[in-house]
């Protein structure tokens, strides 16, 4: 297909107050086939005219555009993973009406609602989602099932977490919800299990080996450390009966030294 070209001759002497001697004509050539205009300066154009009518840039090649699109896609995925790593799920012990009102009145929720973000999506089961762009599929890929969300949960960025908690300080102490559990989301669920805050973990007694002491046993029970010391004496005795037993005299050997 032949390219259609349109020519436009305009005297440069009519622009501004340039003298007649510096008049020049320029030709604008539009190539509809290439999709980009080019400019040519003819008839001895002055340097000023040349600077004013510089050639336009050619459009990037198809391969360059494809590479740029790929970079944009990779960058979007990277930003999505970074945002997901900074998300936490705050679970409160109860869900009064005042909790929803306080969270929705927070500065974070107000900004998102002003941008048209739905902070109470239907798939969240009443939970507040204060993260822009977080969908049900993204949450599923992080290893957290969306059907586990309840009305007492708030999904928020770590940077906005303190703002949400501060919005609850205005509630009366008797009705103010307490933070029960804090779950951090991860972009790669196979890397490590989701981390939870120490204040909300419910762990049993776990023995921990203590460095520098082989005889003491340290037990962690509900965030408290208990050191279990070995018994230095033994209630065992070499005699089952004693002649002084009927008089209630204690056996002096009952508190003898520990024997291996």
pLDDT the model gives residue 130: 92
Q: Which pLDDT tens digits describe the chain residue by residue (260 residues)?
A: 444 444 444 444 444 444 444 444 444 544 444 444 544 444 444 444 444 444 444 445 544 444 445 445 444 444 444 455 578 899 998 777 888 888 888 888 999 999 999 999 999 988 899 998 888 888 888 888 888 898 889 999 988 888 888 888 888 888 888 888 888 887 554 544 444 443 444 434 444 444 444 456 677 777 787 777 666 555 555 555 555 666 666 666 665 555 55
pLDDT the model gives residue 143: 83
Largest CA distance in the chain: 141
pLDDT the model gives residue 254: 60
**CB 209, CB 162: distance < 8 Å:** no
Q: How many CB atoms lie within 10 A of CB 112?
A: 19
b/e per residue, 133-171, with b = 16+ CB within 10 A? ebebebbebbebebeebebbbbbbbeebbeebeebbeee
């Amino acid at each position: 297909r032949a390219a259609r070209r349109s020519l436009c001759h305009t005297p440069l002497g009519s622009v501004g107050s340039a003298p007649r001697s510096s008049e020049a004509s320029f030709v604008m050539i539009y190539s509809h086939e290439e999709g980009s205009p080019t400019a040519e300066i003819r008839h001895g154009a002055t340097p000023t005219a040349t600077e004013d009518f510089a050639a336009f840039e050619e459009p990037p090649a198809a391969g360059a555009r494809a590479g740029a699109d790929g970079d944009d896609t990779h960058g979007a995925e990277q930003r999505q993973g970074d945002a997901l790593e900074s998300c936490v799920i705050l679970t409160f012990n109860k869900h009064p009406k005042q909790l929803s009102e306080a969270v929705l009145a927070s500065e974070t929720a107000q900004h998102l609602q002003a941008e048209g973000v739905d902070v109470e999506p239907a798939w969240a089961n009443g939970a507040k989602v204060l993260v822009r762009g977080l969908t049900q599929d993204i949450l599923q890929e992080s290893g957290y099932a969306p059907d586990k969300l309840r009305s007492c949960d708030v999904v928020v960025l770590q940077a906005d977490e303190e703002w949400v908690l501060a919005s609850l300080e205005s509630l009366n102490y008797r009705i103010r919800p307490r933070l029960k559990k804090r779950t951090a989301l991860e972009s790669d669920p196979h890397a490590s299990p989701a981390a939870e805050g120490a204040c909300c973990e419910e762990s049993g007694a776990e023995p921990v080996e203590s460095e520098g002491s082989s005889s003491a046993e340290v037990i962690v029970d509900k965030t408290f450390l208990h050191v279990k010391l070995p018994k230095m004496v033994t209630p065992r005795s070499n005699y089952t009966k004693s002649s002084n037993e009927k008089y209630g005299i204690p056996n002096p050997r009952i508190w003898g030294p520990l024997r291996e």
